[in-house]
């Protein structure tokens, strides 16, 4: 009786949690090999060949990878620095409310706001004009929809840095880093040694899975690069959606090739991240 009830729960889990993902993946896979799809007539490797030879995927993947890496590296570094230097100040009532505020801003608003700030007709362009740095809008440097993805990276930073600060503050408290630091001090460690041998290792060890997870989220980010990205290369999600929604039917299949590759990479990352954690063998 008890076993049967549990199985209904597992059945529902598979139905809602596993079947949609499997269906989506199989659909994309079949489409990418031309087995299904409006204009496709049977198995072909043509779309895979063209995606791989044209290098669209690799360019886009590399581009997304770099952007996500730069954004995560800067924000983790910055957040660690803020946690180390401003921990006490951030615990006051006022500050502990303020630092949560950025979490209330969704990606699409961040993208919109960054555009308003940095575009050629935006806030900083107006200020620069007023101050006489530029005389025409076109003279303002490309900070959005630009090749170096400055706008995208800026948006990502504003989105994830506050999160990491809050995360590190939490871990700092829960792992009793304060007490351990005092202990290290009594053992003769100086401030520098404490941050390098106690503070950093504990915080990073406790959070690295989340850091990688946020890297993966940024890799697949959509709204921000949609608003702030350039024509080419594009970040992965934008590229996939653009190709799948095209009228050129070959492109649709190629879009699904990219989708399959992206899903595979993300799934492998999930397996590496979440499978090796061994818990107790069985619970009585």
Q: Segment 183-242, which members bind another protein (CB under 8 A)?
A: 209-210, 213, 216-217, 220-223, 226-227, 236-237, 240-241
246 scored as a contact of another protein (CB under 8 A): no
**Torsions phi, psi for 63 (to 5 deg):** -60, -50
Can you tell me the distance from the alpha carbon of 49 to that of 275, in angstroms, rounded to the nearest whole number? Answer: 32
Q: Where does residue 160 rank: exposed (0-12), middle (13-18), buried (19+ CB within 10 A)?
A: buried
68-87: contacts with another protein (CB under 8 A) = 82, 85-86
Q: Which is nearer to another protein, 10 or 187 (CB)?
A: 10
Q: Which is nearer to another protein, 106 or 197 (CB)?
A: 106
Q: Which is nearer to another protein, 176 or 245 (CB)?
A: 245
CA dihedral defined by 275, 277, 282, 284, rounded to 10 degrees?
-130
Can you tell me the distance from the alpha carbon of 276 to that of 25, in angstroms, rounded to the nearest whole number? Answer: 24
Q: Are 25 and 260 in contact (CB under 8 A)?
A: yes
Min. distance of Cβ 184 from another protein in angstroms?
23
Options 52, 84, 99, 180; binder of another protein; rule CB under 8 A: 99
38 scored as a contact of another protein (CB under 8 A): no
Quote the Cα angle for 159-62-44, to 5°: 120
271 scored as a contact of another protein (CB under 8 A): yes
Min. distance of Cβ 219 from another protein in angstroms?
8
Options 34, 47, 79, 107; binder of another protein; rule CB under 8 A: 107
**Torsions phi, psi for 160 (to 5 deg):** -100, -20
Q: Which is nearer to another protein, 187 or 283 (CB)?
A: 283
Can you tell me the distance from the alpha carbon of 65 to that of 4, in angstroms, rounded to the nearest whole number? Answer: 45
Q: Which is nearer to another protein, 192 or 278 (CB)?
A: 278
Nearest to 80 by CA among 198, 192, 200: 200
Give the single-character DSSP code of 139: G
Encoded tokens for 133: 């740095």
116 scored as a contact of another protein (CB under 8 A): yes
Q: Which is nearer to another protein, 9 or 42 (CB)?
A: 9
153 scored as a contact of another protein (CB under 8 A): no
120-149: contacts with another protein (CB under 8 A) = 121, 123, 125-127, 129-130, 137
With residue 17 as reference, give the H or E element that holds it.
none
């Amino acid at each position: 009786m008890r076993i049967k009830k549990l199985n209904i729960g597992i059945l529902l889990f598979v139905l809602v949690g596993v079947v949609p993902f499997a269906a989506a993946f199989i659909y994309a896979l079949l489409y990418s090999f031309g087995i299904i799809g409006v204009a496709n007539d049977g198995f072909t490797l043509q779309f895979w060949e063209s995606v791989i030879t044209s290098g669209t995927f690799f360019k886009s993947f590399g581009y997304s990878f770099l952007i996500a890496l730069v954004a995560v590296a800067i924000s983790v570094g910055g957040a660690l620095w803020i946690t180390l230097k401003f921990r006490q100040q951030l615990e006051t009532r006022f500050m502990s409310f303020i630092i949560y505020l950025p979490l209330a801003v969704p990606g699409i608003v961040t993208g919109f706001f960054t555009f308003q700030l940095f575009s050629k007709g935006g806030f900083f362009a107006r200020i620069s004009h007023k101050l006489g740095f530029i005389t025409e809008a076109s003279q303002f440097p490309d900070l959005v929809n630009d090749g170096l993805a400055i706008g995208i990276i800026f948006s990502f930073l504003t989105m994830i840095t506050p999160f990491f600060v809050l995360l590190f503050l939490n871990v700092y408290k829960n792992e009793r880093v304060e007490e351990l630091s005092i202990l290290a001090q009594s053992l003769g460690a100086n401030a520098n040694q404490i941050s390098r041998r106690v503070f950093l290792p504990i915080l990073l060890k406790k959070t690295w899975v989340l850091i990688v997870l946020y890297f993966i989220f940024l890799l697949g980010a959509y709204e921000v690069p949609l608003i702030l990205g350039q024509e080419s290369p594009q970040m992965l999600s934008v590229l996939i959606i653009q190709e799948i929604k095209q009228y050129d039917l070959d492109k649709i299949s190629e879009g699904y090739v990219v989708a399959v590759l992206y899903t595979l990479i993300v799934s492998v990352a999930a397996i590496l991240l979440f499978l090796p954690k061994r818990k107790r063998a069985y619970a009585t």
